[in-house]
Amino acid sequence: RDPDDRVKANAVEAIRRLELPKDKTQNLLQPFLKHPDNRVRGNAVISLVNIGAVEPGPMFEAMRDDPDKWIRATLGYILSIVEYPKALPLIVELLKDEDGDVRKNAARALANRARDEETELLIRLLTDHTPFVRQQAVQTLGRIRSVPSVSTVTKMFTSERNFKIRSAIITSLGQIGDQ
């Protein structure tokens, strides 16, 4: 009931941590699934998906198509946290979004799920305009020890000017070479 959305978002998260019965949690949080604030809505979605109280597919698709960039960015954040077997196609779509904040959260979600099969996608992300997206791609290629990415990542080192990304390149090449 607090008018401040940050307080509401924190309250939604606190309700999840109380481990109340599923029906009680659902009754308390269901109204927040349409809340206009992305944090409030995101915390409600995470809580209700994690307890199996809602079918995430239609909700995730609606968030993906929302005109508000923060709702789309929140979907990327949610997909980095919740288990959802159909997450990868949604993440790929979010990675194509025109907004850098949306792509940042999608890159984080991809980083949490990526395996060898995503190497080509990760290599394409090395040229993204948003530094965080490039950094996540480099770090993830190192984590999955992607040998096919070595030449591209090595070439990237010669042109990349962001020191955090250059450092991540060295670390990732070391991880790949250490297998």
Tokens at 149, concatenated: 């990415």
pTM of the predicted structure, to 2 decimals: 0.89
**Cβ atoms within 10 Å of 146's Cβ, excluding its own:** 23
In this model, does residue 54 exceed pLDDT 90? yes
The pLDDT assigned to 29 comes to 96
66 phi, psi to nearest 5 deg: -65, 140
Tens digit of each residue's pLDDT (9 = 90 or more) over 145-172: 999 999 999 999 999 999 999 999 999 9
Average pLDDT over residues 111-133: 95
Tell me the helices (H) and strands (E) count for the chain, helix number first.
Answer: 11, 0
Report d(CA 58, CA 139) in Å as an integer: 31
In this model, does residue 178 exceed pLDDT 70? no
Tens digit of each residue's pLDDT (9 = 90 or more) over 63-72: 999 999 999 9
Tokens at 61, concatenated: 């698709």
Tens digit of each residue's pLDDT (9 = 90 or more) over 8-31: 999 999 998 998 999 999 999 999
Report d(CA 164, CA 176) in Å as an integer: 18
The pLDDT assigned to 128 comes to 96
Average pLDDT over residues 102-119: 95
Cα dihedral sign, 50-54-58-64: negative
From residue 26, alpha-carbon distances to 74, 95, 159, 172 in Å are 20, 31, 51, 43
Tens digit of each residue's pLDDT (9 = 90 or more) over 32-50: 999 999 999 999 999 999 9
Provide the pLDDT confidence category of residue 137 given band limits of 50, 70 and 90.
very high
Tokens at 31, concatenated: 């109204």
In this model, does residue 85 exceed pLDDT 90? yes
**Cβ atoms within 10 Å of 148's Cβ, excluding its own:** 12
User: Is-contact 117 86, C-beta < 8 A?
Assistant: no
Average pLDDT over residues 61-89: 96
What's the whole-number average pLDDT of the chain? Answer: 95
In this model, does residue 86 exceed pLDDT 80? yes
Q: Report DSSP letters for 65-77, one per residue.
A: T-S-HHHHHHHHH
Q: Please provide the distance, in angstroms rounded to a whole number, between the alpha carbons at the two ends of the chain.
A: 54
Q: Which of 75, 71, 101 is nearest to 89 (CA)?
A: 75
